[in-house]
Every structure is written in C-alpha cells, then in structure tokens.
A and B are shown apart, each in its own frame.
Chain A
Amino acid sequence: EAQVTQNPRYLITVTGKKLTVTCSQNMNHEYMSWYRQDPGLGLRQIYYSMNVEVTDKGDVPEGYKVSRKEKRNFPLILESPSPNQTSLYFCASSTTGDGYTFGSGTRLTVV
C-alpha cells in the first residue's frame, strides 16, 4: 500500500532532550516536506526537500533540522525541544504533478 509512515504517533518529552521523528515513504517520491499544525495557525511548513541531499527551509524552520540521505526517508530532528514546539506534526511526500500524500501525524508534547 502506498503510504507515508511517521513514527512515533504520540510523544511526550522534556525540554532539551533531543528527539527524532522518522518519516518514510514507499512511493519513490522526489518531494518531501514537514509541517506543523497548531490551532488558529493552520498548517505551516517547517522544511522541505526536492530530492536526495536537497533541502530548504519552510516558513518556521527555527529549532528543527532535517536530512535527506535516502529518497524514502526524511527525519525531523529537534536538537533541544522547547514547550513552544508542542504541536501536531505531519510528514508528506509528492511527485511532479500530484498533490502531497500525508502521514498520519505525530502529536508531540514538550514539558
């Protein structure tokens, strides 16, 4: 089944403890992206990647890192999480001429 898989689905962590949210797609898509969704602010793009080793900042990149070493994987790294990074995170992938396919989301709480 064609899908974008994120892990974990839920995560509670403490301020400053490094974490990684994994994202993997099995559709051979070139484009991948990370979004965060917050009440009243909608979906905001954190980082996106147009292909392996090609990444660029979205609208809210501060406090996040990404890497695209393989086409299928696009992990999101929070080096020192803070409470304002508590949010619902989505990974998505796409190919030319198509809409994004989204993962099921990761609900992160930073205390």
Chain B
Amino acid sequence: SQELEQSPQSLIVQEGKNLTINCTSSKTLYGLYWYKQKYGEGLIFLMMLQKGGEEKSHEKITAKLDEKKQQSSLHITASQPSHAGIYLCGADPSSSGTYKYIFGTGTRLKVLA
C-alpha cells in the first residue's frame, strides 16, 4: 500500500525565517493535497497539485510537486506566528480518483515571535 512520509516531524523557527516541509510518497502521486491543522481542530485545505512539475502559491506558502510525482515540498517564506500548526500532506492512491485518501503523519511547526 502507498505511504506518505513527511519530514521533518517537527520544526521550530524564528519569525521571519523561511522553511521547507517535504512529503515523499512510496508510489506515484495522482493528486497531492496540503492541509494545515491547528492543534485539536479541523484541517484547512491549502492547495492541490496534480501535474508533475506543478507549483502553486497562496500568500507566503508555495507548494511544488516534482516531475516524477513522488515528492512534494511546502515552502513558507518569512514565517509568522500565524503559520504555526500541523501541516499534513494527503494523496489519493488511485489514478481514477476514489477519494480514499491517505495522509502523512504531519509536521508540527512552531514559530517563535
């Protein structure tokens, strides 16, 4: 079965610093989704990547899907305390879109003011 591994597991950065979170799949990704979760709360959808080489940005967050479609990175520029939380990548293992999503175990981000 397909697995998603995220690195690092946790990250503490000073406000204003850039950071990158990685999501690596054991199999080809047909759709890669990034979510943010505040502790104990629901997940907020950030962005979706489907094509190899695709890159999307939302405010100061940029996500890329590599050409081989087995790894994605999430980059935050000039981090702020509001960026703190858990970042999760999710994927649909099927090319036909079953929505039987799997998720990585998450990266906990803390931003020090």
Contacts and interface: CB of A to CB of B under 8 A. Distances in A.
A90 B97 CA distance: 20
A98 interface: yes
Interface string A38-51: 00111101001010
A87 interface: no
A59 B99 CA distance: 13
A101 interface: yes
Interface string A13-46: 0000000000000000001010100001111010
B33 interface: yes
A104 interface: yes
Interface residues of B, number: 22
Q: Interface size bucket, A side? A: 20 to 34
A105 interface: yes
Interface in A58-111: 58-59, 88, 90, 92, 94, 96, 98-105, 107
Contacts, number: 59
A90 B105 contact: no
A100 B57 CA distance: 18
B99 A31 contact: yes
B42 A42 contact: no
Interface of B: 33, 35, 40-45, 47-48, 88, 90, 97-106
Interface of A: 4, 31, 33, 35, 40-43, 45, 48, 50, 56, 58-59, 88, 90, 92, 94, 96, 98-105, 107
Given A42-B88, A48-B98, A100-B99, 19 more contacts: A33-B99, A35-B103, A40-B105, A42-B104, A42-B105, A45-B100, A45-B102, A50-B98, A50-B99, A59-B102, A88-B40, A98-B48, A100-B43, A100-B90, A100-B101, A101-B45, A102-B44, A104-B41, A105-B40
